[in-house]
Amino acid sequence: VTTGCALLLAAAFLSGHAGHAAEAPLRPGTAVKDRTPDYARAPEGVRWDLAPRVALSEPDITAALAEDKELGEDGEKGALRIGLFQDIYPPATTASGGWQDTPAGERVWALCLHSPCALGMRVAFDRLAVPAGGTLWLADAAAPERLYGPVTPDKAGDWPLWSPACPGESVLVMCVLPAGAEASGLELAVSRLAHVYRDPVRETADKVEPGSCNLDVSCAPAWAEFASAVGGLSTVTSHGLIFCTCTLLNENDPCGDIPLVLTANHCVGGQTGVRGASSVEFYWLYQTASCDGTPPGINTVPRTSGGADYLAGMGGTGRVGGGSDVTLLRMRAAPPAQLARAGWTTTVPALNTPVTCVHHPRGSYKRISHGALKNIGTPHPDWYHEVRWSEGVTEPASSGSALALTATGQIIGQLWGGDSSCAAPGAPDYYGRFDKSYALLGKYLEAPAALFSETGVSISEGAGTLLLSVVLSRPATVDTQVLYATGVGTALPGRDFAHSAGSLFFPAGETQGGLEIALSDNVELDGNRVFTVRLTQEEPCLGVSAGGATITVTLIDDDVDTDGDGLSDAAETGGHYGFVTDPARPDTDGDGLSDYEEVMGTHGHVTDPANRDTDGDGYSDYWELMVLGRNPLDPNDTRRLPSLRVPWFEDMD
């Protein structure tokens, strides 16, 4: 239960970033001269008046309006109910309709559903299977040439399957098959429809004409671009159809073009079921062509059917807190190309900052409101912005609309509810704070970040191969490549690992990737060593998170030194230093020099640790090095030694 607003100024939008991806600018739409939506046309030559008819009784609209008023008297603004349920019993099935052949050879099955005084209806299919090549459509029986649909099973498996809204109190449900197609595969069952009873253009707010306090957005040309990003959405609840406001959001991804939509969680609260994204239908450009001009009928504006994917959201209310009442949707079908994408910021503005909102009060055409941020009595300022309006207000069905900074046009929140009205224009409204919502929404609004799945990894140097997993924070919208390269640390390429550099390929829609680095089985006792692997971006379509773009790899020295001589067993038995020695004896040849001292040339010469006298001159390596100071590799240097004089022998002469 709430209302909402949205906006962004078409002049000077901020495009910089405060910290990591804190802002996005408005992205203009594609200019289109003719805004008349295209639509499919019904087959010619069909006698629609002959279609079998299922007639329902007229619902009690007076009671429905009284119920709506009672629901709206709790001081909060809610999503506006625009349609109530009509049950069909027994359910209409394939047998309820009839087949006709067209002059072009097509086969058409049709059934007419009649709900007296309905302005339109949405049909709930409990079961639907369409033959290969066929399509299922709806059409106003009074104007059957224009088709609404097609109706296709929901990919999330949500039943009942709700059709797009179709105008008229008599609606044709038809299946069109190409010539030669087998008709026996058609299966359907309908036990409920939603009877639309509100005409937003004729509706008034609290018996006050909307024009008396609500401002036509077309009278604010500086906001025209942003206003095109604002739309209406209809979804199914437990008590009928509701109408809210929504806004297309820009991504911080120069190559992305995902149709992301911001609204309130009380408008769309999940993927399936009550207020489920699968049943959402979007309405665009529902606004006057000129300032205070004649508003269009809602059935004449561009519409996007087929539902949406629920990406993220949280509940909460302005009265009790608990969350920012936000939902982010991804449309399953593309919106019209001429629509802009609104910018946003996670900056928290100061009190008294001017703000603006574009919205659909009571499901009517777009209006604009201007005010400022206040904190006169905000129950939960940690979750909600309080707004006091100086021009315009919000009303039921404004729910979910965006609040923007007047100076920059960037979104800072979406409408939960409040008490403003034409009768109480100074009463407060409350908007869930976008800076709080960003914790949930941010990964969908930013360019996909390439991250290692771990912050660090330790591996035995003898493992042979290091496997590293790389993930994208969300699927890339285009085929993407990420560069990687190893870096030097205490571990060295060629000795401890093979230097590696290359790129990882992520097909559009994928998030998982990996790379391999060859490790060298180093048999030297050199302790644990480290090196790094770094990710960089291949193209501007991919952002790389500074916190996760580098991983440190620790190579664990797993060599054993049984005799403690400073040489690993593997190095001794494998002759790594040029000599094979006994890993169980620190001095293999017993000459007084350890194996390590001999192979490393600790005392100036490398000697054979398995031979006591490397040069064969009769003096051990130890005696030559440590006593005589001679070269243990030169057999001739000991022959030039002088005769030893022993003084006590001379005394005996």
Amino acid at 388: R
Q: Are strands 98-101 and 23-24 parallel, antiparallel or unpaired?
A: unpaired
Burial class (CB in 10 A: 0-12, 13-18, 19+), 11: exposed
Rounded-to-integer distance, Cα 30 and Cα 340, Å: 8
Peptide bond before 153: cis, by omega within 30 degrees of 0?
A: no
Peptide bond before 178: cis, by omega within 30 degrees of 0?
A: no
Rg of the chain on CA atoms, in Å = 39
Bridge partners of 143? 140
Task: Indicate if 126 belongs to the active site.
Answer: no
Q: From the candidates 266, 359, 370, 380, which is the catalytic residue?
A: 266
For every residue of 227-247, DSSP letters joined together read HTTEEEEEEEETTEEEEEEEE
CA angle 335, 337, 340 (to 5 degrees): 90
Amino acid at 281: E
Please name which of 320, 248, 264 lies closest in space to residue 432, comparing C-alpha atoms.
Answer: 264
Rounded-to-integer distance, Cα 423 and Cα 358, Å: 20
Neighbour tally for 590: CB within 10 Å: 10
User: Given 3-state DSSP classes, what are the helix, strand and coil percentages for the chain, each rounded to the nearest 5?
Assistant: 10, 35, 55
Return all residues near 378 (Cβ < 8 A) that are at least 6 apart.
Answer: 318, 384, 385, 386, 428, 430
Q: Could you give phi then psi for residue 521, rounded to 5 degrees?
A: -80, 80
H or E element in which residue 443 lies? helix 434-445
Amino acid at 303: R
Question: Residue 570 half-sphere exposure, CB side, CA atoms within 13 Å?
Answer: 10
For every residue of 298-340, DSSP letters joined together read GGGS-EE-S-EEEEEEE--BTTTBSS--EEEEEESSPPPTT--
The number of residues making up the chain comes to 653
Q: From the candidates 325, 563, 565, 591, which is the catalytic residue?
A: 325
Rounded-to-integer distance, Cα 266 and Cα 359, Å: 16
Task: Indicate if 503 belongs to the active site.
Answer: no
What would the two tokens of residue 464 be? 């042979």
Neighbour tally for 602: CB within 10 Å: 14
Task: Indicate if 399 belongs to the active site.
Answer: yes
What would the two tokens of residue 25 be? 């600018």
What would the two tokens of residue 439 be? 């914790």
Q: From the candidates 228, 234, 364, 399, which is the catalytic residue?
A: 399
H or E element in which residue 600 lies? helix 595-600
Residues catalogued as catalytic: 266, 325, 399
